[in-house]
Chain A
């Protein structure tokens, strides 16, 4: 079967750094995605990893270890607008190009 796990909720303060972890067990692996979703809106793309290592994009970084089935999203210099759900998604081998999503991590940033 396929399983993607991430923490349900996290809290942090403005200016801090937060790391959101994601572990996955899928049939095959063809890439891992991170999306941000504000309440009532569609997800927006944050990052993509297909090879091991760190991808950096501004305040956001994402890491992948394929051998461990593990990824994390690192958010630096947190702002209030970063309060949202963060979705980890994997493209496996059992559903073509479709992504399988985790349940998401709700991040609350306070001042």
Chain B
């Protein structure tokens, strides 16, 4: 079955270390997105990519980096420059269609200690 996979589900890192969150989809979707969610907050857009080899900053891109070398993959690196990285990270994908609705991954909960 087609879907979008985020791994790992839980991730612990020491302060000052970079960490990369994986997001893979086999839906043949062109567009992919990364969001961050903090308690009591909605989803905030970090980066998005409309097509392979292209990506754009969202509202809170500082301290994060991405790549889109393959259509299926959109990894997110949380760098040591991100001041408050502990959060729930969600990846999503979409394709031109009736409404460009999202398919979400199950999320990665990152805790920096």
For chain B, residues 25 to 76, give those with C-beta under 8 angstroms from any C-beta of chain A.
Answer: 31, 33, 35, 40-45, 48, 50, 56, 58-59
Number of interface residues of A (CB under 8 A): 25
Across the interface, do A95 and B100 meet the contact criterion of CB distance under 8 Å? no
Across the interface, do B40 and A97 meet the contact criterion of CB distance under 8 Å? no
Contacts of B43 in A (CB 8 A): 43, 87, 89, 99, 101
Contacts of B42 in A (CB 8 A): 4, 87, 101-104
Across the interface, do B94 and A42 meet the contact criterion of CB distance under 8 Å? no
For chain B, residues 75 to 106, give those with C-beta under 8 angstroms from any C-beta of chain A.
Answer: 88, 90, 94, 99-102, 104-106
Once A96-B50, A98-B45 are accepted as A-B contacts, the answer to whether A45 and B107 lie under 8 Å apart by CB is no
Contacts of A98 in B (CB 8 A): 31, 33, 45, 48, 58
Distance in Å: Cβ of A37 to nearest Cβ of chain B: 9
Closest to A87 in B: B42
Contacts of A101 in B (CB 8 A): 35, 42-44
A103 to B35, CA, bound (A): 13
* Chain B, interface residues (CB within 8 Å), range: 20 to 34
Closest to A98 in B: B48
Across the interface, do B104 and A42 meet the contact criterion of CB distance under 8 Å? yes
Once A42-B107, A98-B33 are accepted as A-B contacts, the answer to whether A33 and B101 lie under 8 Å apart by CB is yes
A111 to B2, CA, bound (A): 38
For chain A, residues 22 to 46, give those with C-beta under 8 angstroms from any C-beta of chain B.
Answer: 31, 33, 40-45
Task: Mark B residues whose CB is within 8 Å of A.
Answer: 31, 33, 35, 40-45, 48, 50, 56, 58-59, 88, 90, 94, 99-102, 104-107, 109
Task: Mark A residues whose CB is within 8 Å of B.
Answer: 4, 8, 31, 33, 40-45, 48, 50, 87, 89, 91, 95-104
